[in-house]
Structure 1
């Protein structure tokens, strides 16, 4: 007779770690964000983004045709610094 015991807490932690690795990979794969992704990441409406930091001359953005794009790494760095300035 074979008896197997599973540490459920360990299995759950392995599962969480695997998900976190996948999420990090997706974040690394993005070279730029569009406006929909920007709104999702900052949890703000488009109006609030425009009222708070969109027109800051340091905010990295490029308009291609009628659509705005934001370089992912530079935008994230800007947003971190911008938020720290609000303290």
Structure 2
């Protein structure tokens, strides 16, 4: 008879590490986001973005031609900080 024991904690840790590495890989592919990506990442409409943080001086953005671009790393950091600053309901 064969008896197999699995360390649940070790398996969960390994899964979390693997998922974190995959997410970092995917995020590393983007140098900047465009408006569509910003809306997708925040789950907000363009109007909501403009009303809430678009005009915040800390929010980095550049308009190239007729299109807005946002540096991915800095935008992610800003959004995390911005959300923490929001009052809890």
Instruction: Give the TM-score normalised by structure 2.
Output: 0.74
What does residue 71 of structure 1 align with? 71
Q: How big is the shift at 1:17? A: 6.7
C-alpha change, 1:81 and 1:16, in structure 2 (3 Å) is closer
SS of residue paired to 1:57: coil
Q: C-alpha deviations, 1:7-35, integer Å up to 9, x for none? A: 9xxxxx78887565433211012110000
C-alpha change, 1:84 and 1:20, in structure 2 (3 Å) is closer
Q: How big is the shift at 1:57? A: 1.1
Q: How big is the shift at 1:75? A: 0.5
Q: Runs of 5+ in structure 1 lacking a partner? A: 1-6, 8-12
4+ residue stretches of structure 1 with deviation over 2 A? 13-24
The number of aligned residues is: 86
Distance (whole Å) between structure 1 residues aligned to residue 86 and residue 45 of structure 2: 18
C-alpha change, 1:17 and 1:85, in structure 2 (3 Å) is closer
